Amino acid sequence: MIVCPSITKRSIRHHYELATPFYRLLWGRHIHHGLWQGEEPPAVAQQRLTDHLAAAAALMPGQKILDVGCGVGGSSIDLARRYRCITTGLTLSTVQRNWAALAAWRQGVSSRTRFLRADAETITFPPASFDVVWIIECSEHFFDKAGFFRRAAAWLQKVQQPSGGWGETCRSYDDPSLAGQGVATASQTAWALLALLAAGEKDSDAVRAGVAYLLRTQGADGNWRENFFTGTGFPKVFYLKYHLYRLYFPLMALARYEKAINCQSSTISQTQNVDSPPTVCGYRFPPDNEYAADG
């Protein structure tokens, strides 16, 4: 949390109004650091960082991205052009907003990008407006970091189902009112848990209920059964079913929960309830032939 009296949103805006041309000249279109593997040029390392984060977020065409602290639009434009996402960039600076909009027009992605001069800590959007919140080297300007991430996670808690799981039908692409509605699945529950854990909600009732859901629905063979297609593919055209999503995302979410609560034991009761959170975490891994069968 920023507590220095001399630092205000106005002073941050003024800094970027003046310094943006120099940042662009010296730092390139991605005004952020890179992911280096050797002595490669900064532009290569910056692109590698963007691609690394896109892969970590499992971005798919048509997803809606909120790029917080978008600078001159480097990431927003790249995600729209190369990943076919729909991006909204936020910046405190009018200079950066106008620069980004012009750059998007020059690269032919104006229809898939928009840029707003707005404060990320106060701006509001309708529920389920975005699939991914993208932040690179911007959160240092937040005056209340924890509050920002709690706001981003609040919608997930709102749409959690009584079973403790989460689910959303692919029909939500055609009808946004269906956002957060659908039969609960292991993979979508895991995605929600990963987001809530990242937002620091490890001790919340929502996380405990989500963990209990995954433990309760895991089969004796270590598998979770999932009949629905949860992969975007191309929205409104076709959807995909990634057969391993139902396995590795729940395992990832449970492992992160275990790490978050600092479990020491290696087994876990399958009869945990929401009021009695798991204190031990262990997982039954499916047999090797299960992976071979699913491909």
In contact, 140 and 121? CB cutoff 8 Å = no
Domain finish residue from 143, 164, 193: 143
pLDDT, tens only, 136-154: 888 878 888 878 878 878 8
Q: What is the rounded CA–CA span in Å between residue 167 and residue 228?
A: 10
Which residues is 240 bridged to in the sheet? 231
Please give the residue range of the domain that contains residue 92.
9-143
Residue predicted with more confidence, 232 or 229:
229
The answer on 154 and 289 residing in a single domain is: yes
The answer on 281 and 187 residing in a single domain is: yes
Let me know if residue 3 belongs to a domain.
Answer: no
- What residue type is assigned to position 280 of the chain? V
Domain finish residue from 143, 176, 192: 143
The answer on 205 and 175 residing in a single domain is: yes
Tally of domains within the chain: 2
**pTM, 2 dp:** 0.65
pLDDT mean over 183-203: 92
Average pLDDT, the chain: 84
The answer on 111 and 176 residing in a single domain is: no
Query: What is the residue-wise DSSP string for 184-204?
Result: -BHHHHHHHHHHHHHTT-TTS
Q: What is the rounded CA–CA span in Å between residue 172 and residue 42?
A: 40
The answer on 255 and 221 residing in a single domain is: yes
Domain finish residue from 84, 116, 143: 143
Q: What is the rounded CA–CA span in Å between residue 115 and residue 89?
A: 5
pLDDT, residue 268, reads 45
Count CB atoms within 10 A of the CB of residue 237.
10
Let me know if residue 45 belongs to a domain.
Answer: yes
The answer on 231 and 118 residing in a single domain is: no
Let me know if residue 4 belongs to a domain.
Answer: no
Let me know if residue 198 belongs to a domain.
Answer: yes
Residue predicted with more confidence, 142 or 270:
142
Q: Which contiguous run of DSSP H or E holds residue 116?
A: strand 113-117
The answer on 245 and 156 residing in a single domain is: yes
The answer on 200 and 110 residing in a single domain is: no
The sheet with strand 132-135 has its strands ordered as 113-117, 86-91, 64-68, 132-135
Q: How far is CA 129 from CA 87, 110, 155, 190, 230, in A?
A: 11, 19, 10, 20, 18
The answer on 284 and 193 residing in a single domain is: yes
pLDDT, tens only, 110-144: 999 999 999 998 998 887 788 889 998 888 788 88
What CATH number does residue 131 fall under? 3.40.50.150
In contact, 29 and 53? CB cutoff 8 Å = no
Q: What is the rounded CA–CA span in Å between residue 124 and residue 294?
A: 42
The answer on 175 and 234 residing in a single domain is: yes
In contact, 166 and 210? CB cutoff 8 Å = yes
